[in-house]
Amino acid sequence: MKEIIKKTELKDVFEFWNSESCGERYAIGDNNKDKFISESNERYRLEPYIKSFANFENFKGLDVLEIGVGFGSDHSQIAMNKPKSLSGIDLTDRAIENTKIRFETLDLESSLRVDNAENLSFKSGSFDAIYCWGVLHHSPNTKKCFEEVHRVLRVNGFAKIMIYHRNAPTGWMLWVLYALFKGRPFRSLNEIYATWLESPGTKAYSVNEGKDLTKLFRKSDISVQLCFSDLLEGEVGARHKGFLLTVAKALYPRSLIKMLAKIFPIGLYLMITVHK
Ligand SMILES: C[S@@+](CC[C@H](N)C(=O)[O-])C[C@H]1O[C@@H](n2cnc3c(N)ncnc32)[C@H](O)[C@@H]1O
């Protein structure tokens, strides 16, 4: 099967995420405090598995880095759990500016800067813990990002990382829309994710490919999680709206998908914990 996936450059990724950070559309309120709190409430209502995976309490007393802070909700959860030090980076100015405003508004502390996960500006062995949710699959060289996580972690440090998993209802629905309905059934899931999910070039991995990305580490645990977009809940992706989506949401067999996910490893999220 011939895959037609254009080579993505970091500037394409930057342009996509600098026009709207993840979660920004849920920031509703008359003032900054209300906006940030409403966004966080909606985030953890739609995605309760974030808190159980991240275990934000475990960052207490550690030197922590978050890669790809986005709109800053998880970053504020880490800060509230009193790490020894906290740093946060993102590719986009927009994410860093919004997260700085969130931290000033909520009276929290972090050292925030624009940086690139493929070439982090920190010395080797700088952190006890790294958190990174939904970021590294957007960067053109995901393997290099994992090498950077390994480099800046201390020996015995750990990282919690979520990247996309290929075998997922989200991908199948997009395939129906952009391959089957367009008369192009030979389009692969890789091409679908790279072209129609989020930023150009977005990738999704199998569990074995995830293991391969983490092979530098002493230990890795990998599991698959069904997420809100697999269940057509919330605002499923900035790119998809309209009548068809409203109808699909009304008719979607959520209970069946949840039941299947108990038997088979399906779902968009690959939840990875690694130890150096
Ligand atoms: C889907 S958002 C996730 C943001 C946040 N972690 C969250 O869960 O809401 C992806 C973020 O990754 C950032 N990103 C993509 N490639 C990056 C890179 N190479 N270095 C740093 N950040 C990157 C984007 O700018 C964007 O803010």
Q: In what order do the strands lie in the sheet with 127-133?
A: 111-114, 85-90, 63-67, 127-133, 153-164, 269-275, 219-225
Q: Which of 92-101, 165-174, 230-239, 266-275 has the lowest mean pLDDT?
A: 230-239
What's the CA-to-centroid distance between 256 and ligand 1, angstroms? 32
Mean pLDDT, rounded, for 124-140: 98
CATH class of the region 10-275: alpha beta
**CA 14 to ligand 1: nearest atom:** 25
Q: Is the CB of 54 under 6 A from ligand 1?
A: no
**What local confidence, expressed as pLDDT, does residue 104 receive?**
98
pLDDT in tens, 90-111: 999 999 999 999 999 999 999 9
Q: For residues 139 and 161, what is the distance between their CA atoms, to the nearest angstrom?
A: 14
Query: What dihedral angle (degrees, nearest 10) is formed by the CA atoms of 249, 193, 239, 100?
Result: 110
Best of 10, 11, 14, 17 for a ligand 1 pocket test (most atoms within 8 Å of beta carbon): 17
pLDDT over threshold 70, residue 240: no
Cβ atoms of residues 43 and 26 within 8 Å: yes
Q: How far is the CA of 45 from the centre of ligand 1 (A)?
A: 21
5-9, 36-40, 125-129, 196-200: least confidently modelled range: 5-9
User: For a substitution probing ligand 1, which of 40, 73, 89, 90 has the most ligand atoms within 8 Å of its CB?
Assistant: 90
Q: Tell me, what's the pLDDT at 233?
A: 86
pLDDT value for 120: 98
Taking the centre of ligand 1 as the mean of its atom positions, its distance from the CA of residue 204, in whole angstroms, is: 15
As a whole number of Å, the end-to-end CA separation of the chain is: 38
| pLDDT > 50? residue 1 | no
With a cut of 70, say whether residue 228 has pLDDT above it.
Answer: yes
- Atom number in ligand 1 closest to CA 117: 20
CA–CA distance, 114 with 116 (Å, rounded to integer): 7
* CA 182 – ligand 1 centroid, Å: 30
CA of 136 to the centre of ligand 1 (A): 7
Instruction: Give the global pTM.
Output: 0.94
Cα distance between residue 4 and residue 192, in whole Å: 10
Contact indicator for 21, 95 with CB cutoff of 8 Å: yes
Q: Where are the alpha helices (DSSP H) in 137-220?
A: 142-152, 169-175, 189-192, 207-213
Task: Give the position, in ligand 1's atom list, of the atom nearest the Cα of 17.
Answer: 25
Domain range annotation of the chain: 10-275
Q: Write down the mean pLDDT value for the chain.
A: 94
Q: Where are the beta strands (DSSP E) in the chain?
A: 63-67, 85-90, 111-114, 127-133, 153-164, 219-225, 269-275
